Amino acid sequence: MFALFQTIDLALNIYTWILIGSAIFSWLYAFNVINSSNQFVNSVGTFLYNVTEPALKPIRRFLPNLGGIDISPIILLLIIFFLRTLLWTTLYPLVA
């Protein structure tokens, strides 16, 4: 059971870093720091968008319009932090 909990925790940790990378990539793209016509940059951006958008889209539906500020990644990071804490402090002691 410990291996299952570690695997879930690792997957959530990797998704956290992908989410942070996606936010940084979107800032670099918005401020035209990276070349958007580069094929590698475009494929990285597409990958990050396709991986993070299914989790961010439902959160964006519930958030009010804040203009150009998107706080949905922060909300998702808080949810992931809550799930990881719940996993180790509540669920794991019950099955260990």
The closest alpha carbon to 53, from 13, 82, 25, 87, belongs to: 25
Q: What is the mean pLDDT of residues 42-54?
A: 97
Q: Tokens 């993070």: give the residue.
A: 52
Confidence band of 65 (pLDDT split at 50, 70, 90): confident
**Would you tell me the crossing angle of helices 2-30 and 39-62 to the nearest 10 degrees?**
110
- How far apart are the C-alpha atoms of 25 and 31, rounded to whole Å? 10
37, 20 contact by CB (below 8 A): no
Q: State which residues form the domain around 56.
A: 1-95
pLDDT of residue 40: 95
Read off the pLDDT of each residue in 83-87 and give the average, rounded to a whole number. 95
State the residue for tokens 């580069």: 38
C-alpha–C-alpha distance, residues 4 and 22, integer Å: 27
Per-residue CA distances from 31 to 8, 26, 65, 86 (Å): 35, 9, 21, 37
pTM over 0.85: yes
User: Above 90 in pLDDT, residue 49?
Assistant: yes
Mean pLDDT of the chain: 94
Domain count along the chain: 1
